[in-house]
Structure 1
Amino acid sequence: MEIFTKLQLPVVEDRLHGPNPAVSLNATYYEGQRVVYGRHSNSTWEALETLIGELEGGTAAAFASGQAAMFASSLLTAGRLVISEDTYVGSRDLADFMVKNHLAQCSYVTEASLRTPTELTGLKEGDVLMLESPSNPLLVTYDIAKLAQACHDRGALLAVDNTVATPILQNPLSLGADIVVHSATKFISGHSDVLAGMVVVADEALAERLFEVRAVVGSVIGPVEAYLCYRG
């Protein structure tokens, strides 16, 4: 037994996860731990969030679906959601639903206006401009850096749906975007067997707001789904 008492185990950073993280099915945790309830965090989520965050260059939060991720993005500021007309149909359905049910103020912006950022005169402080580049299904692309600057000049935020490009081919945060959204159901999962979404932000205050929104709304991803996305 003496050899075991002298054994020195290597120190492993908390943020590092192995190639196959454990699926944590805990809904509650012991008193004194950094997480009390499963709606706030889960170690399997955290493995996925660490991976996507490092790929996108920000802080990531996993959600139950791409729609849930989009909805959370619209709640990060008190302003309007201004959405591109050629954005994925599910995103437009969400915007219409929020307007119809008085959940938020939303408006649309044309592709032509996005081609000439100086014409985005309707953007105001606190607004979130949401676009998809490349778009689904038309694969329309936009100058993210110019649009980010136009948003910031007006006190607005730029959110980019990066589902089609994936973080392997494009990192909108490095181009000036404030929020990145993924329907992880698609390429991040890669196997058509999971509904999931991701939101990634660079700003610490936005990250705190993002996790607050997820915990309060309860739009959390299941640990098995998180593992399958991590695998994908």
Structure 2
Amino acid sequence: MGNSEPVWGIIGGTGLTAIDSLMVDDTLETETVWGAPSAPLRIGRLGGRKVVFLARHGDPHRIPPHRVNYRANIEALRRAGVDRIIAVNAVGSIHPAMTPSSLVLPDQIIDYTWGRAPSFHEENLEHAVHVDFTWPYSESIRDALRAAAAEVGVACHDGGVYACTQGPRLETAAEIRRLEQDGADIVGMTAMPEAVLAREAELDYACLALVVNWAAGRTSEVITMDDIRSNLDAGIGRVLQVLEACLRAD
């Protein structure tokens, strides 16, 4: 769109359907060739930078992970002029050091989803399209988030493997043991195909993950929504601190 100023996109996950400190200038309801995005785009400024915010699960939160229209979401952000995206994802922890309410900057993904539209390049093609996905997350955005976390004194685990499962149910203890054997550190339901669609759209993309529970079988307790909400409440303020510091520094 010819913007001289970089435009950041923020995709809010569970617990982040709005950013109170975002100074909203416009709210855009839009359609794409893939359908409507999860929610209207909120366009404004955060940390002194132009930001387009999108609630991944809708506002109010109503769309389960396997029914999110990831293609429409990424396309709507691209058409709004976004050239870099920070995705906020709520995850469970497999790694003992990644405790509930802590933040993680994953650097890898293993995709266990099925039946989701995985690409923009599926029909009416002149040739098959393949994108390199060796490193699924933008290192420059990860660097910026890491520096922002250090600036505001928020501990953030640097690196980790995000296992993306289908949902909407949580995993069994046996499934978590399998994911651990595969090398996964955290588990969630929304990393894919969002990350690869951003790559296809040539948008820089990285994930800021908030741990909201121990994964199944990591403790003797059952996972409850009350515990997840409690960890969301405990950690979401730190997520916002890091986001604002990252954008101020850009």
Q: TM-score range by the shorter chain?
A: 0.3 to 0.5
Q: Which structure dedicates a bigger proportion of its chain to helix?
A: 1
Larger C-alpha radius of gyration, 1 or 2?
Answer: 1
